[in-house]
Amino acid sequence: MTEEKEITSESNGQENKESNVDEETDLDSAIIRQVEYYFGDVNLPRDKFLREQVKLDDGWVPLEILIKFNRLAKLTTDTEVIAASLLKSTSGLLEVSDDNKKIRRSPEMPLPEMNEERRKELLARTIYAKGFPKDISLDELMKFFKQYDEVENIVMRKYQDRQTKKRIFKGSVFATFKTKEQATKFMEAKDVKYNDTDLIILWQENYLQQKQEEYATRKEKKEKKNKDKDANEEKDDFKLPTGTVLHFTQSNEKMKREDLKESLDTLGEEIAFIDFKVGDPEGWIRFAKENSAKQVAEKIPEGKLRICDTDVVFKLLEGEEEKNYLEKTVEEMAKRRKNQKNFKQNRGKNFKGRQGRKRKQDDNGDATPAKVKAS
């Protein structure tokens, strides 16, 4: 009689279990979806806390631990309700302990290894969608995607508001479908909308590539802008006064800059630079003060001076001629400064390298004495 009761009881339990599956409520579905997400292929590999819990007791995690997770706690903190809901799951991902106090991921469904191949596989079934309301909830997003196919994970893309420091939803998501085929089906759907808003949809890989290209373009523009700014600042540093340049021609192959300077110094204006090399048939003399070349030109009879037994013919640069010469001079001065700066930096590095290098040792292990200059 007792045995018959036990069999009847077991039979009733089986009927109740099948009945529970048929009677799955919205709360059951939400609990199953949330807990299976925690232990799923996408979340578990990156959830450090949960991975540590899984290692403690042959994979079993107490429900008392899980109800501390925010999204599950918003659904319920009643562990009996959670256990009852999970028993209705048909995915086979989770096991519930006999006492309904703990759950674990089924040993028959081991976690895939997260490697490059796995990352590419996830990328291949993940899409980008934009156009959702800023105040939409994750549950509403899940409900939206469910009408297309089973979604394994949804990442609500957010940014931090500078003033409030709060994380604000951008209106776009990354959604990972269960299979590549399901993701493709969604991507091929026409006129995908949320309410009356057309959604912008892309494969995640294409979206990321697009963003990388945009970032590279912005970076290039920024670098060019900074480079142009630096160049303009350098030009401003070398801004030269006008009315300061005399051009000259001469035929003495031995004339030197010193000869020119000695003759022109007698005319009373400070010379900034003489652009001339021995043997050149022409050259330029740039004076330091505004319009000083004009004053010198007025002091040169008929524009000629006798220097080193040669007539040197001078002409004041004006207008476009002067402008072009001064711009070229500024560029050359900036270039020289940059080269000098680079030379000093490289010399400093080389000097440190020589200082830090050990002297070669001789066969006895003693350092070879440094060379001494002969006196």
Q: What pTM value is reported for the model?
A: 0.51
- Given a cut of 80, whether residue 14 has pLDDT beyond it is no
The closest of 105, 75, 78 to 91, measured between CA atoms, is 105
Residues 221-233 pLDDT 10s: 888 888 777 666 6
Domain end position, chosen among 280, 307, 325: 325
Could you tell me which residue, 210 or 118, shows the higher pLDDT?
210
- Domain identity same for 262 and 318: yes
**Does residue 310 belong to any structural domain of this protein?**
yes
Residues spanned by the domain of 276: 245-325
Per-residue pLDDT at 148: 84
For 122-140, the pLDDT digits (tens) are: 899 999 999 999 999 988 9
Q: How far is CA 348 from CA 317, 336, 338, 356, 358, in A?
A: 42, 18, 15, 12, 18
DSSP H helices in the chain: 2-22, 26-38, 48-54, 63-66, 70-75, 79-86, 116-124, 138-146, 180-188, 204-237, 257-264, 292-299, 319-356
- List the beta bridge partners of residue 173: 129, 156
Higher-confidence residue of 235 and 262: namely: 262
Per-residue pLDDT at 235 = 54
Quick check: 304 and 313 in contact, CB under 8 A?
yes
For 247, how many CA atoms within 13 A lie in the half-sphere containing its CB?
10
Domain boundary among 57, 82, 105: 105
The SS3 of residue 171 is: strand
CATH number of the domain at 300, please.
3.30.70.330
**CA proximity to 254, closest of 303, 310, 300:** 310
Q: Please indicate, yes or no, if residue 285 is contained in any of the structural domains.
A: yes
Neighbouring CB atoms inside 10 A of 2's CB total 6
191, part of any domain = yes
Tally the domains of the chain. 3
What the block records as the tokens of 272 is 């900034």
Over range 332-341, report the average pLDDT.
Answer: 80
Residue 375 pLDDT exceeds 60: no
Would residue 373 count as lying in a domain? no
SS3 per-residue string spanning 225-241: HHHHHHHHHHHHHCCCC
200 with 249, same domain: the answer is no
Q: pLDDT, tens digit, for every residue of 72-101? A: 999 999 999 999 999 999 989 999 999 999
pLDDT at 18 over 80: no
**Tokens at 22, concatenated:** 């048929």
What's the chain's average pLDDT?
Answer: 83
